[in-house]
A and B are shown apart, each in its own frame.
Chain A
């Protein structure tokens, strides 16, 4: 089903030999006649930023939730770091989960905790050797990264939607994950902040050599951050290529994303 014309190998500065995430024949449906994923095949290589496009409700969020075992797929193989996550018990799955960062579409900040506690929460539980000062330093650094150092004592309810998104991003980054799954990192942000977030995503890729999947409707973000783009349609990967190639695709439907 891959679009012929757009399937052009582009030179990307990544180690294309090592697949970090491999998905083969992934099916997921809710109930009898609500098939969301209909056989997705996808490989994400080490150090690559993969952008996933697709209409609202096309199953993008479900796809990345399958990757971390939040949603159990009906059938299909999902390999992360070379291990099939369906075969893992809870402890083994958790060992993989700490290496993956997940930015939720709606931030999912812990309402009962301050911003500081939100960020320190995963850190304290996974890096037990850190002293209180080191945790605090890491929290401040993470907040600086997203440009919100003043929000440290606020409660999530006191933040705007865009601020929540950035705090969510800071919480995702604080464990320095090897894979980051971004679910619409720039949605609901103004153009300037969106750009800053996109640049931050790029900077993290460079600095930490992270592998990322970025779900977005924001084409500026896709253009800036994506080494490779795929489009999800009717539960399968419908088109694949870099930004320029997809923009000039023969398929009008594919082109319509770029207008």
Chain B
């Protein structure tokens, strides 16, 4: 019991140092721009299909599920606005982040973990190349910038999915639908929801890198790093989401 408590504190210390190092190195040249762009491509572009499919289904299902309840109150005309609001505020950011935790955090954890185990990270270090800068800074920056983009993309596709859902039971033209969506949206709905996605992205990258970078020796630790990265990143997403709600409540 005491030992596991100690481990938690030791771990927290390591994570804090690892995070601190990011802020120290991110502003210091040389910058690995090419690797950063490559990571943006891998993390952002390669995740588009997955995010598109889930986004569409989220919008569609949400619409179909909410419809009967709203119809009971005779409030079917609220449907587009309500779907858009829940998508943008909560569902699209969280679901997209969770999917990215599964795809990206585990991918980074496994990649860096295997680089660690096969001494590739050591090889960088002995050739006087900063592996933290080349591997960690580029990936964390890429996830921090790409997850928000993916979320916006999921928002858009999700709202389109809602349009398809509405049209299964009634006939609403596209223009009217989007007008209702935009009417229901407030600037203040979008800002906090967007800010939190940057935090989601940052922690997805950071946790993946941390688990990979600190993997133990031996090939089984690669799988462990990937697995732990997904679990820790998913949990962190929920915690950030909860904090974000509290903070938004406080200020708006």
Contact = CB atoms under 8 A, between A and B. Distances in A.
A169 interface: no
Interface string A93-120: 0110110101010101111100000000
Given A94-B128, A125-B129, A104 B114 contact: no
Contact of B125 (A70, A110, A111): A70
B118 interface: yes
Contacts of A106: 118-119
A98 B120 contact: no
Contacts of A112: 111
B123 A108 contact: yes
B63 to A, nearest CB: 42
B120 A122 contact: no
Contacts of A110: 115, 120, 123
Interface string B112-140: 00110011101101111100000000000
Given A106-B119, A108-B120, A111-B114, A121 B129 contact: yes
A98 B129 CA distance: 9
A75 to B, nearest CB: 22
Given A111-B114, A111-B115, A70 B129 contact: no
A98 B125 CA distance: 10
A139 B67 CA distance: 65
Contacts of B128: 94-95, 97-98, 122, 125-126
A126 to B, nearest CB: 7
A97 B130 CA distance: 12
Contacts of B129: 121-122, 125
Contacts of A102: 123, 126-127
A68 B120 contact: no
Contacts of B125: 70, 97
A108 B122 contact: yes
Interface residues of A, number: 21
A109 B120 contact: yes
A104 B127 contact: no
A108 B118 contact: yes
A175 interface: yes
Given A111-B114, A111-B115, A122 B127 contact: yes
B118 A111 contact: yes
Nearest to B123: A108
A121 B125 CA distance: 12
A175 B114 CA distance: 26
Nearest to A105: B119
Contact of B126 (A97, A109, A126): A97
Interface string B161-204: 00000000000000000000000000000000000000000000
Given A111-B114, A111-B115, A175 B127 contact: yes
Contacts of B120: 108-111
B127 A97 contact: yes
A109 B122 CA distance: 11
Contacts of A175: 127
A70 B118 contact: no
Nearest to B114: A111
A156 to B, nearest CB: 10
Contact of A100 (B115, B119, B126): B126
Q: Which of B119, B122, B128 neighbours the largest number of chain A CB atoms within 10 Å of its CB?
A: B128
Q: Which of B30, B123, B127 neighbours the largest number of chain A CB atoms within 10 Å of its CB?
A: B127
Nearest to B111: A112
A155 to B, nearest CB: 14
Given A98-B128, A111-B115, A112-B111, 4 more contacts: A65-B122, A97-B127, A108-B118, A108-B123
14 contacts: A70-B125, A97-B126, A102-B126, A102-B127, A104-B119, A104-B122, A108-B118, A108-B120, A108-B123, A111-B115, A111-B118, A121-B129, A125-B30, A126-B127
* 7 tightest A-B CB contacts, nearest first: A94-B128, A108-B123, A108-B119, A97-B128, A122-B127, A102-B126, A98-B128
Interface of A: 65, 68, 70, 94-95, 97-98, 100, 102, 104, 106, 108-112, 121-122, 125-126, 175
